[in-house]
Amino acid sequence: MELLQLIHQHTEQLYPEVVRHYRHLHQHPELSYHEQETAGYIAAFLQKEGIPFRSNVGGHGIVAEVKGEKGLSDNCIALLADMDAL
């Protein structure tokens, strides 16, 4: 199977879960600097997935690091994501 096909397959499998998280977060908005429930939701997800993280960073912030494995090349992909006001 080609790489692009694998990406499409995994994307289709993850789509319902991504939409569920999206809807939950948008149905439970919080004011800036008061995102306690959102932080708890994210922390619970990371813990369930076994992803190490630090919480209470600068307030309710969370920092998680997802490490990949070395592939066949020396190429590396970095991803930085944040959640901000709606």
Which DSSP state fits 63? E
Is residue 40 one of the residues assigned to a domain? Answer: yes
**47 inside domain:** yes
Does residue 19 fall inside a structural domain?
Answer: yes
The number of domains in the chain is 1
Residue 45's nearest CA partner among 27, 24, 15 is 24
Decide: residue 42, CB within 10 A, 0-12 exposed, 13-18 middle, 19+ buried: buried
Give per-residue pLDDT as tens, 38-67: 999 999 999 999 999 999 999 999 999 888
Per-residue pLDDT at 85? 60
What global pTM score does this model have? 0.81
